[in-house]
């Protein structure tokens, strides 16, 4: 049910300088979706009356993600005054005049934060008399965070940013998680009093705490039990640390749902992938994008699948596949490369050192060894000989090949597209198929073989080969 007394402000206007990236920090992928998408999903789950997201740096790219993930959010453009305090000031101004209640502020770079943590945080704040509550944490590494300064009695006094902290303050082990709940009026009053009088020349949201205390208001800091929940991402080292934590959670979730993951440390599963019970994932495997894996399938070892559909009981071993459909009971690899548009039907096979692209392979058909299948349709129950190339490109245009059902093609064929091979046809080894082959025909076009008797002994006398030939009874 919508919380009519709750407004959420998501801060997403920062530049993310410490990432040293041309991609805005909040759009860096984490488990296959932008960092900010995790925060927007959490905000959405809280079902607040109003959500405002503040953008500035690369605003159009951020706005596109917000429009997709949290369309109910109002988007506010931060002006040239820097700092989290300014961002919140402008967001508050965008709230409707008739709104009364609490304002939850979340940094856009705290992606592991979940709705349960926030719900209990909101409950604690509302049960207290505080005009502001700050979520705090005691992580092993406090570097980069603002520190929670408490007075002699242990009461929360203010937040000092790392860059403004004294040596003593730098030793404080409790940090500001970047998540705050404010009474709207108290917040609005103090935002007006923020200055840029600090080492970074920014309006710090964190200074609101000290201002509220000065005005006689009560503020509290509530520590989270597990500090990883509020891990903030400022640089790429923190990005990979956070990704590892999230991946461990995702893998464990699938394990508890009935998926065997032999080696969680070397298995990466994106947020949007779905796996059925009794799927087995072997070491060194990445299940990326919106991949779907059906029951009984075995994927890995050393396999990357992106946006693929893998059917029940299929086996995919040492393979790289993107936008491919692998039918139930089918077998892929080892060492296969499936490019977009590959559709391997049930019980089919794409074997060792085989590359496929825009290839529809019928039920039970096999491409077992050392082949390239591009822009092709293969019927049911066909077998493509080892070392076959579908020559789909004439140097200017791509053309399709159509291979019928129950076709048997010889080893080391070239199919020069556009070409059709009819149902039940055969081709000989080494055939370069340039003309259509009618159903049931055998196509051969290799030159007849000529054996020149005694050639080795005459032309390579005394060699091991010549001696072996001399000794041979043939
Ligand atoms: C901030 C807090 C710090 C806290 C930490 C928790 C302040 C002043 N400091 O520091 O106490 O420990 O988060 O992770 O708030 N942003 C804007 N507009 C701006 C600047 C930033 O919207 O002008 C957004 C950023 O996109 C980001 C968030 O606010 O999502 C936090 O900004 P960041 O620069 O990462 O703050 P920290 O230095 O991490
Ligand atoms: Ca940050």
pLDDT in tens, 136-180: 999 999 999 999 999 999 999 999 999 999 999 999 999 999 999
pLDDT digits (tens, 9 = 90+) for 304-315: 999 999 999 999
Tell me how far apart the alpha carbons of residues 359 and 343 are, in angstroms, rounded to a whole number.
6
pLDDT-based confidence at residue 447 (cuts at 50, 70, 90): confident
464-469-474 Cα angle (round to 5) = 160
Q: Where are the domains of the chain?
A: 3-230, 258-443
Which protein residue's CA is at the shortest distance from atom 21 of ligand 1? 14
Give pLDDT, residue 115. Answer: 97
Q: How far apart are the C-alpha atoms of 296 and 326, rounded to whole Å? A: 13
Please confirm, yes or no, whether 369 is among the known catalytic residues. yes
Quick check: CB of 161 below 6 Å from ligand 1? yes
Taking CA atoms only, the protein residue closest to ligand 1 atom 11 is: 146
Instruction: Indicate which ligand has the atom closest to the C-alpha of 231.
Output: 1
In the DSSP assignment, the letter for residue 408 is B
pLDDT tens digits, residue range 196-245? 999 999 999 999 999 999 999 999 999 999 999 999 999 999 999 999 99
Evaluate: CB of 231 within 6 angstroms of ligand 1. Answer: no
Cα angle, residue 144 at apex, residues 141 and 145 outer, rounded to 5°: 85
Q: Is the pTM of this model over 0.85?
A: yes
Alpha carbon of residue 64 to chain centroid: 18
Residue 178 CA: which ligand 1 atom is closest? Answer: 6
Q: What is the pLDDT of residues 393-435, one digit of tens each?
A: 999 999 999 999 999 999 999 999 999 999 999 999 999 999 9
Q: Which fold has domain 258-443?
A: UDP N-Acetylglucosamine Acyltransferase; domain 1 (2.160.10)
pLDDT over 90 for what percent of the chain? 98
Q: Which residues contact 15 (CB under 8 A, 6 or more apart)?
A: 24, 25, 57
Catalytic residue among 5, 50, 125, 369: 369
Average pLDDT value for residue range 357-376: 98
Q: Residue ranges of the alpha helices (H) in 20-175?
A: 35-45, 59-69, 84-93, 115-127, 167-170
Tell which one of 61, 82, 232, 234 to mutate to probe ligand 1, the residue whose CB is within 8 A of the most ligand atoms. 232
258-443 has the same fold as 3-230: no
Confidence class for position 446, pLDDT limits 50, 70, 90? confident
For residue 448, pLDDT beyond 90: no
Summarised one tens digit per residue, pLDDT across range 66-88 is: 999 999 999 999 999 999 999 99
Instruction: Give 3-230's CATH code, choosing from 3.90.550.10, 1.20.1290.10, 3.30.160.100, 3.90.1150.10.
Output: 3.90.550.10
Residues 6+ apart with CB under 8 A from 129: 218
d(CA 165, CA 145): 11
DSSP for 219-258 reads EEEEE-SSGGGG----SHHHHHHHHHHHHHHHHHHHHHTT
Task: Specify the pLDDT at position 474.
Answer: 74
At residue 209, the pLDDT reads: 96
301 lines ligand 1 (CB under 6 A): no
Give the pLDDT score at 72: 97
Q: What percent of the chain shows pLDDT beyond 70?
A: 100
Radius of gyration for the alpha carbons in the chain, expressed in angstroms and rounded: 32
């Amino acid at each position: 049910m919508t919380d009519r007394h709750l407004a959420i402000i998501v801060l997403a206007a920062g530049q993310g300088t410490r990432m040293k990236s041309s991609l805005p920090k909040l759009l860096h992928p984490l488990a296959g979706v932008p960092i900010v998408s995790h925060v927007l999903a959490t905000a959405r789950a809280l079902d607040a009356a109003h959500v405002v997201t503040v953008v500035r740096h690369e605003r159009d790219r951020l706005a596109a993600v917000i429009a997709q993930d949290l369309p109910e959010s109002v988007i506010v453009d931060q002006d040239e005054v820097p700092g989290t305090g300014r961002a919140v000031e402008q967001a508050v101004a965008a709230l409707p005049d008739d709104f009364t209640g609490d304002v939850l502020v979340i940094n856009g770079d705290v992606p592991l934060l979940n709705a349960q943590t926030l719900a209990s945080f909101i409950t604690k704040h509302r049960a207290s008399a505080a005009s502001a509550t700050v979520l705090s944490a005691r992580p092993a590494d406090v570097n980069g965070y603002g520190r929670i300064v408490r007075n002699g009695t242990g009461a929360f006094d203010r937040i000092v940013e790392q860059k403004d902290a004294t040596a003593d303050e730098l030793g404080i082990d409790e940090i500001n998680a970047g998540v705050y709940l404010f009474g709207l009026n108290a917040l609005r009053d103090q935002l007006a009093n923020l200055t840029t009088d600090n080492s970074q020349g920014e309006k710090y949201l964190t200074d609101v705490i000290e201002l509220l205390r000065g005005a006689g208001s009560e503020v509290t800091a509530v520590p989270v039990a597990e500090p990883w929940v509020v891990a903030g991402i400022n640089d790429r080292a923190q990005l990979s640390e956070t990704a590892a934590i999230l991946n461990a959670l995702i893998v464990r979730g699938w394990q508890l749902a009935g998926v065997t993951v032999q080696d969680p440390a070397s298995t990466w599963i994106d947020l949007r992938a779905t796996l059925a019970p009794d799927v087995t994932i072997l070491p060194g495997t990445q299940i990326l994008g919106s991949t779907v894996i059906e029951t009984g399938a075995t994927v890995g070892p050393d396999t990357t699948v992106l946006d693929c559909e893998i059917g029940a009981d299929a086996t995919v071993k040492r393979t790289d596949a993107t936008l491919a459909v692998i039918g139930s009971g089918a077998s892929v690899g080892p060492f296969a490369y499936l490019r977009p548009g590959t559709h391997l039907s049930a019980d089919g096979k794409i074997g060792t050192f085989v590359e496929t692209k825009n290839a529809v392979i019928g039920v039970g058909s096999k491409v077992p060894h050392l082949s390239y299948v591009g822009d092709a349709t293969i019927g049911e129950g066909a077998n493509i000989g080892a070392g076959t190339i579908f020559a789909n490109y004439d140097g200017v245009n791509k053309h399709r090949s159509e291979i019928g059902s129950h076709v048997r093609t010889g080893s080391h064929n070239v199919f020069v597209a556009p070409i059709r091979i009819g149902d039940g046809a055969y081709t000989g080894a080494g055939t370069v198929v340039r003309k259509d082959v009618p159903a049931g025909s055998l196509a051969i076009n290799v030159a007849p073989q000529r054996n020149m008797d005694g050639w080795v002994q005459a032309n390579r006398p005394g060699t091991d080969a010549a001696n072996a030939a001399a000794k041979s009874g043939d």
